[in-house]
Amino acid sequence: MNCREVEEQDILERYLLDGLTEPQRDEFEKHYFECSSCFSRLQTGLTVQEELRRQPRALGQAGGALLRRAWHWTPLFAALALLFAVGIWRYSARDHQPQPQVSSSPPKMNPEGSVPSQSPSPATPPFDQLARVEAPPYSAVVLRGAEDQPQENFRKAMQRYLSGDYANAIPGLRAAAKASPRTASFNFYLGACYLLTDQADLAIDSLRKTISLGDSAYSEPAHFYLAKAYLRKREVSAAEDELQTAIRLGGSRAAEAGDILRELRR
């Protein structure tokens, strides 16, 4: 694959929208790791995609067109365009914010003259709070000898991860996990990045893969973050199962898993 084919066949757009076949995706990933131009355009597209994902649905239609054109702009112009779009949305939302209505009639009194109290609404789990995710810690490991390609991809991706650039860490982690599918760390941090960029379904796939590998260093945190992914999807029963497993394994996340489970069952 070359840059001309990427341009003519809309490979970059289809890659970001998960519209490539597996052979096409593998070929493009091999290409952009060797092509600084396509890699730079991919980073711009991933950044814009992540920012648009954070915006309300009101920007949905504009977001599709913006994403299709994002990699043709310079990174600076893309950032300015995104900020302009967000500014328009915030200004519009402020102007159309509904004003509180004031009742013209006094509250009805009961025979004793007191205002009837309203029954409290049933307590519901604060899903937004319970599903909130912090990036799993990572300490770089210095390897002796030459790195193979999956390890090099992982190392470069984790440099972006440590800087908080989770969207742009995904391509390198996906390439590493593709080349070395039985390496638990590759799958675990790929799942974490998917979760940190609000891609719960993809996070679930990667974290399940991590658990299936049976690496004790990653099993317990994988169950914990898998529970978070299910909470994002409001699948409470599945989340509770993963939390119970994390508690039973007794790792560093066991106490927090217990707190979340108690909140869900209140």
Residue 174 forms part of a structural domain: yes
Task: Please tell me the total count of domains within the chain.
Answer: 2
User: Is there a single domain that holds both residue 131 and residue 68?
Assistant: no
User: Is there a single domain that holds both residue 43 and residue 161?
Assistant: no
User: Is there a single domain that holds both residue 174 and residue 236?
Assistant: yes
User: Is there a single domain that holds both residue 174 and residue 85?
Assistant: no
Residue 109 forms part of a structural domain: no
User: Is there a single domain that holds both residue 8 and residue 87?
Assistant: yes
SS3 call for 112: coil
User: Is there a single domain that holds both residue 11 and residue 88?
Assistant: yes
User: Is there a single domain that holds both residue 166 and residue 78?
Assistant: no
User: Is there a single domain that holds both residue 67 and residue 160?
Assistant: no
Residue 117 forms part of a structural domain: no
pLDDT value, residue 200: 95
Mean confidence (pLDDT) of the chain? 78
* Segments forming the whole domain that contains residue 219: 127-136+146-264
Residue 118 forms part of a structural domain: no
At 184-198, the pLDDT tens digits run 999 999 999 999 999
CATH number of the domain to which 182 belongs: 1.25.40.10
pTM: 0.60
User: Is there a single domain that holds both residue 131 and residue 74?
Assistant: no
65-92 core/surface letters (b: 16 or more CB in 10 A; e: else): ebbeebbebeeeebbeebeebeeeeeee
User: Is there a single domain that holds both residue 132 and residue 243?
Assistant: yes
Give residues with Cβ within 8 angstroms of 157, minimum separation 6: 169, 170, 171, 172, 173, 176, 189
Question: Which of 98 and 51 is assigned the larger pLDDT?
Answer: 51
At 92-141, the pLDDT tens digits run 444 444 444 444 444 444 444 444 445 444 444 577 888 899 999 998 77
Give residues with Cβ within 8 angstroms of 174, minimum separation 6: 29, 190
pLDDT value, residue 221: 96
**Helices vs. strands in the chain: H and E counts, helices first:** 14, 0
Residue 111 forms part of a structural domain: no
Residue 121 forms part of a structural domain: no
Residue 102 forms part of a structural domain: no
pLDDT value, residue 248: 94
Single-letter amino acid, residue 254: A
- Entry field: residues in the chain: 266
User: Is there a single domain that holds both residue 218 and residue 158?
Assistant: yes
User: Is there a single domain that holds both residue 258 and residue 151?
Assistant: yes
Average pLDDT of span 133-154: 83
Residue 108 forms part of a structural domain: no
